[in-house]
Amino acid sequence: MKNGLYIAQFGTALDEASGVIVINYDTVMGGDSGMYYSGSIRRRDDRVEVEMTVHRHNPVSQSVFGDFDAFTLKLSGKAKGESYQFEGRADAAPSLSFRATLTPVAD
């Protein structure tokens, strides 16, 4: 996965949202209108594994997992053309599957 700015489109069965993600070597940071996220990336062959902590910064917003102030999200994905497709789960709502698409922002 290349360093840079990505548009993130993601969701669960409860809700969908979008935001931005910055990849800088083994670090991921980003946010949307209600949450901010930070974590780490590991590359394994053709797969990318991400573990991030998500925090609420807007008290009237909910995450796509529901009404949580903070949680850990674990994702696994791989490249699909220029974009990356991810699936995963949050520790706060393990029964909900999460999906995300990261698309690089063109310079």
pTM reported for the whole predicted model: 0.92
Write the CB contacts of 86 (distance below 8 Å, at least 6 apart in sequence). Answer: 10, 48, 50, 75, 76, 77, 98, 99, 100, 101, 102
Q: What pLDDT score was predicted for residue 106?
A: 80
What proportion of the chain, given as a percentage, has pLDDT over 90?
Answer: 93
List pLDDT tens digits, range 47-56.
Answer: 999 999 999 9
